[in-house]
Amino acid sequence: MLQRWGRLFGLACIAVTVVSAIALTGLHRTAQSSAMNKGIEPPDVSAKSVFVLNADTGEVLYEKNPDEVFRILSLTKLVTAYLLVDRMGDRLSETIKINWPHLAGGSSAKLKRLDVWTLQDLLYGMVLVSGNDASLAIADAVGHDLLASEGQRGDTAKATARFVEEMGAAAKTLGAHNATFADPYGLSPQNAATARDMGLIAAQIFVDPRLLPAWACTERTLHIEGRQPRTVTLKTSLEILGEGSVIGAKTGSHVSKNIYNLVTAWRAPSGQTIVGVVLGSKSHPARYDEMRAIIDAAPRDFPELGAVETATKRASTDTCH
C-alpha cells in the first residue's frame, strides 16, 4: 500500500512539474512575443505618430504614439487597391465606361465622361497620381461585382456604398481594427486609422505580387478608348519612389489643415520588406525626410537587417509593366 501511494505521489509530482514547465514556457514565449512587437523610439521626427514593421517577420521596429487615430486622407487608396486585386485580380483587363458619378474633385487621373478604362489602367491612375476619379470608378466596378454575387443590383451610389462597407471588413481582416471609411479615396474626415492600422495594411499590400508592379512604377503610358480615344502618360507625384531600395509609397495630404502623412515600403539589405508609416508630419518635405531618416537608421538599430544573402530574392516583382 505504501509503495502504491509512493508511486501515485511520484506521478503527481511529475505531472505538476510538467504543467509548471509548460506554463513557464508559455509565459516565456508570451514575453518574447510582447518584446518582439514593442518597437523602439524612432529617429527624431516631427510626425505625431510613427509605426515601422518588418512585413516578413511581423517584428515591430519603431513606434511613436502608434495607436492614436488620425485622418488618413489618400492613404485610404491602399485599401481600395487591395480590394480591387483581392476581388478582381484575375480580371483587370475588364473595362468600365466612365460617367458623371466617377468625375470626383481633387487629385485626378483625368478621366472623361464616356471614356472606357480597363481596371488595370484605373489602378495605375489611382496609384501614380492618386486619382480620386479612378478610385470611384474602381469602387463602382468592384461594388457592382459584390452586389451581383449577392443577387443584388444597383446604381453607382449603391455599388460604391457596398464597396465602402467591404473596405471596413477588409481592414479588420488585415488587423486594422480602428480603421473606418466613408469613401474610397479619402476626402471624408471619417476615413481614419492609427499608424499601427496603416502599417498592418501596408505589410500585406506591399508584399502582394499583383500590386507590386503598380507601386514600383514612376511613369506609365495608358491608351484610353471611348468617345475621346487618346494616349495618356501618368507620372508619379511621390518624391521618394525610385530612391534606393524603396518599392512603394503613398501620401495623404490636407494642405489647408496642415496634415501630411506618408506610408513607404522598402527592401532592407537583408532582402526583407519593411513598411513605415508617419502620420501628422509638420510639412510636405518633413514627411519624406523623416522617412529617409528611418530607412537609414533601421540597419544600424537592427543589425539583422544588414545581411545581404537574400537581397535580390524578390527583385523581379518590383518592375513596372
Tens-digit pLDDT profile for residues 50-75: 999 999 999 999 999 999 999 999 99
Q: Could you confirm whether 77 is annotated as catalytic? A: yes
- Could you tell me if 49 and 280 are in contact, meaning their C-beta atoms sit under 8 angstroms apart? yes
Measured CA distances, 152 to 32, 146, 149, 184, 259 (Å): 48, 9, 7, 21, 39
Angle between helices 77-88 and 195-205 (to 10 degrees): 30
Q: At residue 149, does pLDDT exceed 60?
A: yes
pLDDT value of position 25 = 34
Catalytic residue among 49, 74, 135, 253: 74
Model pLDDT for residues 201-234, shown as the tens digit of each residue: 999 999 999 998 999 899 999 999 999 999 999 9
Which residues are 118's β-sheet partners? 95
Catalytic residue among 49, 107, 130, 270: 130
Model pLDDT for residues 68-109, shown as the tens digit of each residue: 999 999 999 999 999 999 999 999 999 999 999 999 888 999
pTM: 0.85
Q: Could you confirm whether 48 is annotated as catalytic? A: no
48 is in an annotated binding site: no
| Domains along the sequence of the chain with CATH | 49-297 (3.40.710.10)
Name the phi and psi angles at 223, rounded to 5.
-115, 110
User: In sequence order, what DSSP letters do the residues of 146-204 get, joined into one string?
Assistant: HHHHTT----HHHHHHHHHHHHHHHHHHTT-TT-B-SSSSS-STT-EEEHHHHHHHHHH
Handedness of CA 312, 80, 143, 155 (dihedral sign): negative
Catalytic residue among 77, 135, 253, 270: 77
- Could you tell me if 108 and 126 are in contact, meaning their C-beta atoms sit under 8 angstroms apart? no
